[in-house]
Chain A
């Protein structure tokens, strides 16, 4: 089974103190890793480390496939329309779905010409997820993907995740409320507690 992403003994410090104990993460194709833990324990930090945004204090990180990251912030430009934002994303490449198709799959069909600043919080979240669809990236790193979404939206996210896993992609997602409705055989869990890491692989 190919490993899309590998990390050994990752460490990160904030204000001089380590955020968590040295962590190992191995993401395999077709599987999802779920990060859970209370607020402020380091889930976002870990995801950003895995994305390559933060540089670890020590440890190694290896990307064996292209990585996409959807964080708290929508990462879209308010002045541009939804379509234009996705167009930029698609040009970063390599291109995945068509713009209209991507908008439809996240439930924003028909809103392509609306400036992104005019969207509600939930709609901005959906647009952020649409960014994942217009590019072909095997690894998805998602930080609280269910936040601000209604039940239909959350179900939609689960659909997208399952489809992505079926296509051979991998997902690492952090959540502190709802868990993804993914088949248990495809799930791994990492639970972060303040300073302590418990690792259960299934």
Chain B
């Protein structure tokens, strides 16, 4: 079974490429900070207001960071012919899709998670909610990559793809944003966030099960 070999080889190559263009890869992180700095400049530095907005803002920043990298998720590979190679002689590209999404998450989701404590401090999020914030990001950002990957694969060969991508992704992630920010808000109010986190986890698991199937189908159709 060549399967695992090719998926891990793909992952290695993706990571190598990401580090070659480190500036581009770190762009999502700069974006996170732009959001974290701009919004208090816009709404005023009042700690209570910022604390209430913090969960939503950090999550929106995570979303935008993910969105930035989505245009480069499959398109370069389509253009240089490496994408069609995935399908040569293979019945299922499931593993390679997962490998690609995992590298996307490492570049977009993980930096956001690592810097979220700093962002939380800057936005005066109550300390006792920080754990929930990190957990919500840990569980939720993979779903962001999965659903973003679905939107990216659908719009792969269309003109005006970036606008369409944003329109497509928005309804898909509504539940994600609601559950994740809800969990952090609950924790900030010293209430139990576990119901929200449980639903968030269920949503991510559902995405993990179904999204790669849709992505594989959409990629193949777009190769025609």
Contacts and interface: CB of A to CB of B under 8 A. Distances in A.
The short answer to whether A and B are in direct contact, CB under 8 Å, is yes
Interface of A: 14, 48, 51-55, 63, 66-69, 71-80, 84, 88, 91-94, 137
Nearest to B221: A55
Given A53-B223, A76-B80, 5 more contacts: A53-B88, A66-B89, A68-B88, A71-B84, A92-B2
Given A52-B90, A54-B223, A75 B6 contact: no
Contacts of A77: 13, 17, 80, 82
A11 B90 CA distance: 20
Given A54-B223, A79-B20, A80-B13, A67 B89 contact: yes
A55 B92 CA distance: 12
Interface of B: 2, 5-6, 8-10, 12-13, 16-17, 20-21, 79-82, 84-85, 87-91, 220, 223-224
Q: Which of B8, B16, B80, B91 has the most CB of A within 10 A?
A: B80
A91 B90 CA distance: 16
A136 to B, nearest CB: 11
Contact of B80 (A78, A94, A137): A78
A122 B106 CA distance: 36
B220 to A, nearest CB: 6
Contacts of A88: 9-10, 12-13
Contacts of A14: 224
B114 to A, nearest CB: 25
A188 B9 CA distance: 36
A91 B85 contact: no
12 contacts: A53-B87, A53-B220, A68-B88, A72-B81, A73-B79, A75-B80, A78-B80, A84-B13, A88-B9, A88-B13, A91-B9, A137-B89
A14 B224 CA distance: 9
Contacts of B84: 48, 51, 53, 69, 71, 73, 75
- The secondary structure that dominates the A interface is loop
Contacts of A69: 84-85, 88
Contacts of B10: 88
Q: Is the interface of B mostly helix, strand, loop or mixed?
A: helix
Contacts, number: 76
Contacts of B8: 91
A51 B88 contact: yes
B88 A93 contact: no
A167 B80 CA distance: 30
Nearest to B91: A52
Given A48-B84, A63-B89, A69-B88, A80 B16 contact: yes
A80 B84 CA distance: 19
A72 B80 CA distance: 10
Contacts of A75: 80-82, 84-85
Contacts of B87: 51-53
A84 B220 CA distance: 26
A91 B96 CA distance: 14
B85 A93 contact: no
A10 to B, nearest CB: 14
Contacts of A80: 13, 16-17, 20
Contacts of A68: 88-89
B96 to A, nearest CB: 10
Contacts of A73: 79-81, 84
Contacts of A52: 87-91
Nearest to B82: A75
Contacts of B220: 53, 55
A74 B80 contact: yes
Nearest to A131: B85
Contacts of A53: 84, 87-88, 220, 223
B132 to A, nearest CB: 39
A48 B224 CA distance: 9
